[in-house]
Each structure stands twice: as C-alpha cells, then as structure tokens.
C-alpha cells in the first residue's frame, strides 16, 4: 500500500473516531440545544429513569420516591407504553414527568428524517393519550449525529442527556455512593431501573436518595430543575 493510500486510511480512521465521539457526546449536539446539567447554586438535581414502563420498575421506584417526597422524569419507550398504558397514567397521577425515549429504542444513526419523525411523533401521541405532557426527548443509547437532533428540533422538543449515570457495579451500596459523590447542584442523573436485570439500581435507589438528602440535595424532575434554575437567575 502506498503512502497516499495509507494516509487516506488514517484520515478515514480519524474521521470515524471523531464522528463516533460526536454521536455519543453528552453535552454537545450538531443541531439544537442539549441539556446535560444546569448551572445553578440551588440545591436540586434532576432524577431521570430510562426505558419501560415495566411493572417491576414502576412498582419498585414509586414507593421510594414517595417516601422521600421526590419527583423524577421518566423517559419512556413508545412500544412499551402501548403494552402498559396504565403504568404511564400511574406515573402521571403520582406527579412525575414523562419524556420521549423513542418508539422502538433503536440506536438512531443513519436513518432518514421520516423515520426519526415517526419515532418521535408516535411516542409523543402515546404520552399525551395517557395524560403526560411532552416536551423532552432522550436518544436511545445516547446516540445522535445530525438527523436525529434536527428531527428533535423540528418537533420542538429539548434533547436531555445527563452528567451522572449508572455505575458499572453489582453492589447497590457502591452504586449509590458513586452517584451521590458525583451529584452537584444542577446535575441530571440517569438511572436504569426498569428492566429485570436492573435489580442493583432498584436496590440502590433508597440509598441514593438518602445520600442526596445528606448532601443537602433534593431530587426533582427535569422540568422542575429548569423552572427553579430560571427563577433564581
């Protein structure tokens, strides 16, 4: 292989790395605003849960939130809403916020605009039909490039990412300690607790809320975090 060919391969490899990093960047989007935290001194953090809704997840999460007088934003999958619409209504009735996590939960890179639009609109319609107010979108697997952010902007939704997420551990106490240690005023915390294999997160949740309270931080929804932060400016 000649030098020019080698240089071309190297440039393509470098371009691939750049594109991959952009596609998974938490706080950057090629189009439109992306929220991963809010700059505020108010002692509040946004607590968010992805996926579902599932019976095991909702049944485990809601009582813990209620005991701590905490609220959260649940980013739900459209096809799961169709299976369990009653769970969406339960979340809404409990005072929690619902966000759009796409309809099929595929990684949204390389599709036409019509696909992104359908994924967003179908899920938004299901959320509204079950009493939720739409306005927020979170990409599955955090993957996004140009097409998805453009569709989110055209749908007048805010893309919400995070700056604190599930640790890779099977120890609930270690899971909770890491999240609490990283949480700061204005943080957006992501927890996966809906699926059967998320038992560690479900067991860690009471410890997370206890730890946040010990740091003087109150868990609220994304919408409440934005409202309170704006009111303090």
pLDDT for residue 18 is more than 50: no
Distance of alpha carbon 99 from alpha carbon 176, whole angstroms: 24
Of 146, 149, 207, nearest in space to 175 by CA:
207
Distance of alpha carbon 41 from alpha carbon 119, whole angstroms: 36
Written as six digits, the tokens of 196 are 């059967």
Instruction: Classify residue 196 as exposed, middle or buried by CB count within 10 Å of its CB (0-12, 13-18, 19+).
Output: exposed
pLDDT for residue 7 is more than 60: no
Residues known to be catalytic: 50, 192
Q: What percent of the chain has pLDDT over 90?
A: 80
- Torsion angle of the four alpha carbons 23, 24, 28, 29, in this order, in degrees rounded to the nearest 10: 30
The 10s digit of each residue's pLDDT in 110-124 is 999 999 999 999 999
The 10s digit of each residue's pLDDT in 153-194 is 999 999 999 999 999 999 999 999 999 999 999 999 999 999
């Amino acid at each position: 292989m000649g030098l020019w060919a080698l240089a071309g391969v190297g440039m393509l490899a470098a371009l691939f790395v750049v594109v991959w990093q952009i596609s998974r960047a938490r706080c950057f989007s090629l189009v439109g605003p992306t929220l991963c935290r809010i700059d505020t001194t108010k002692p509040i953090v946004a607590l968010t849960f992805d996926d579902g809704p599932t019976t095991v997840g909702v049944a485990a999460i809601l009582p813990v939130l209620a005991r701590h007088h905490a609220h959260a934003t649940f980013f739900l999958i459209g096809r799961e809403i169709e299976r369990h619409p009653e769970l969406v209504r339960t979340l809404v009735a409990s005072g929690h916020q619902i966000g759009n996590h796409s309809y099929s939960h595929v990684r949204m890179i390389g599709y036409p605009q019509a696909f992104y639009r359908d994924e967003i609109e179908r899920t938004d319609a299901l959320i509204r039909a079950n009493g939720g107010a739409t306005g927020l979108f979170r990409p599955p697997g955090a993957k996004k490039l140009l097409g998805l952010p453009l569709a989110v902007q055209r749908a007048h939704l805010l893309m919400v990412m995070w700056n604190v997420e599930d640790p890779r551990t099977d120890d609930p106490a270690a899971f909770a300690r890491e999240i609490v240690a990283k949480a700061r005023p204005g943080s957006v915390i992501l927890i996966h607790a809906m699926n059967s294999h998320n038992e560690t997160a479900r067991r860690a949740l009471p410890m997370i809320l206890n730890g946040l309270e010990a740091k003087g931080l109150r868990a609220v929804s994304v919408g409440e975090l934005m409202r309170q932060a704006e009111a303090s400016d």
